[in-house]
Amino acid sequence: MSSGDGGYTGPWLVVGLGNPGEQYARNRHNVGWMVADLLAERMGARFKAHKSRNQVADGRLSGQRVVLAKPMSYMNLSGGPVTALRDFYKAPASALVVVHDELDIDFGVLRLKLGGGDNGHNGLKSITKSLGPDYHRVRFGVGRPPGRMQVADFVLKDFSAAERKELDWFVDRAADAVEALVSEGLERAQQSYNT
């Protein structure tokens, strides 16, 4: 971590949002977990249960120490495990990166930012209620539901066949964006990935 974070020298905390359970594994809402899984693979780390109610993998990405986490609560209760993780590592909000699905961005498009609203995302709403809004977000576009489909039904469905053809590439790009954020800082990562 760099200056402006109160001298914090601990790891970056990268949280992929999703729902636990095999039935949710490939849902749009679980894209954060997909990115976390790929980052763990890159670090050569395995997820293990942690007392913060997260699955946690610890390692290095682009020279930075990173703790990856997948909250083991359902999405709308993510704030509890994320806060417990933050408290365990005594990390400032500026050391937290949350990777999540985003309805208001087209499929596969990424947006990196610091702070902001929750845009109706229940996982972000829960985290912000616990920690305040000043954490980094890697927003992975999933697009809007077609026709009159309810948002909840849309995000709890698997990606379409057409989307799945490109999904691995976009997940890989999102993992690259996380690495750029922790190693080069937000501004440089935004220049590369906010397309």
Chain mean position to CA 183: 16
Residues 6 or more apart whose CB falls under 8 angstroms from that of 61 comprise 39, 42, 43, 178, 179, 182, 183
- Where in the sequence numbering do the catalytic residues fall? 29
Paired with 97 in beta bridges are 14, 136
* Cα dihedral sign, 57-61-66-68: negative
Quick one: 70 exposed, middle or buried, by C-beta within 10 A (0-12, 13-18, 19+)?
buried
CA distance 134 to 113: 10
